[in-house]
């Protein structure tokens, strides 16, 4: 499953002598925008969501802070990031920054405040997915971001364990019949990709 969406080389695992301390993040180069790399980090048992939100607003964390309960799979975030990179390059973003555009693109509707309410983190959240978009040649200091989160970092592939499938089906209006011929991820990505089509 890792090789499906991510470069396996980008998985970072650090081992210590007293046990294994694993810090995992996933990076993926956008094929249509080769100058961009998207890095995702996932945390659970987060105790400082309010502080993280404030840091993001103040520019201390340059990334999108996403509520993982609304994410079916890491691929969903890559779709949103790819669309955000395209809109950024052509100057047609609907929000003020690339990171807010990623959050907005996760939503099935064109309501920006609703997108932030559903997909951004709230002060009481106990899990967060941090998404960074950076230049391929740029050195990314993942440890700096990780040190700001008071929580346990887990593998991005574990996002489905934090997913609220019932809430996602309700928000994206996924009918049971639709799930018989495709996956929940298929339904979500289809709605994300076509929300701007009239």
Distance CA 142, CA 139 (A): 9
List per-residue pLDDT tens for the chain, 198 residues long.
333 444 433 444 433 333 444 447 899 999 889 899 999 999 999 999 999 999 999 999 999 999 999 999 999 999 999 999 999 999 999 999 999 999 999 999 999 999 999 999 999 999 999 999 998 888 888 889 999 999 999 999 999 999 999 999 999 999 999 989 999 999 999 999 888 874
What per-residue confidence (pLDDT) applies to 141? Answer: 85
What per-residue confidence (pLDDT) applies to 137? Answer: 82
Distance CA 15, CA 191 (A): 41
What per-residue confidence (pLDDT) applies to 129? Answer: 98
**Is residue 12 exposed (0-12), middle (13-18) or buried (19+ Cβ within 10 Å)?**
middle
* Cβ-based neighbours of 28, under 8 Å, separated by 6 or more: 5, 6, 7, 10, 37, 38, 39, 40, 78
What per-residue confidence (pLDDT) applies to 139? Answer: 80
With beta carbons less than 8 A apart as the criterion, state whether 164 and 69 touch.
yes
């Amino acid at each position: 499953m890792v090789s499906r969406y991510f470069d396996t080389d980008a998985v970072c695992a650090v081992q210590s002598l007293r046990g294994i301390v694993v810090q995992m993040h996933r990076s993926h180069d956008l094929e249509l925008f080769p100058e961009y790399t998207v890095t995702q980090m996932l945390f659970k048992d987060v105790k400082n969501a309010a502080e993280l939100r404030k840091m993001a607003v103040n520019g201390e964390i340059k990334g999108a802070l996403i509520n993982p309960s609304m994410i079916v799979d890491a691929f969903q975030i890559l779709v949103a990031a790819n669309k955000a990179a395209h809109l950024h390059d052509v100057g047609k973003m609907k929000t003020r920054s690339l990171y807010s555009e990623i959050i907005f693109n996760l939503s099935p509707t064109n309501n920006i405040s609703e997108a932030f309410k559903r997909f951004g983190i709230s002060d009481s959240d106990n899990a967060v997915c941090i998404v960074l978009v950076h230049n391929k040649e740029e050195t990314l200091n993942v440890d700096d971001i990780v040190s700001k989160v008071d929580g346990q970092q887990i593998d991005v592939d574990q996002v489905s364990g934090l997913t609220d499938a019932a809430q996602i089906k309700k928000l994206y209006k996924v009918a049971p019949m639709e799930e018989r011929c495709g996956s929940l991820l298929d339904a979500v990505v289809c709605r994300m990709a076509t929300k701007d089509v009239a």
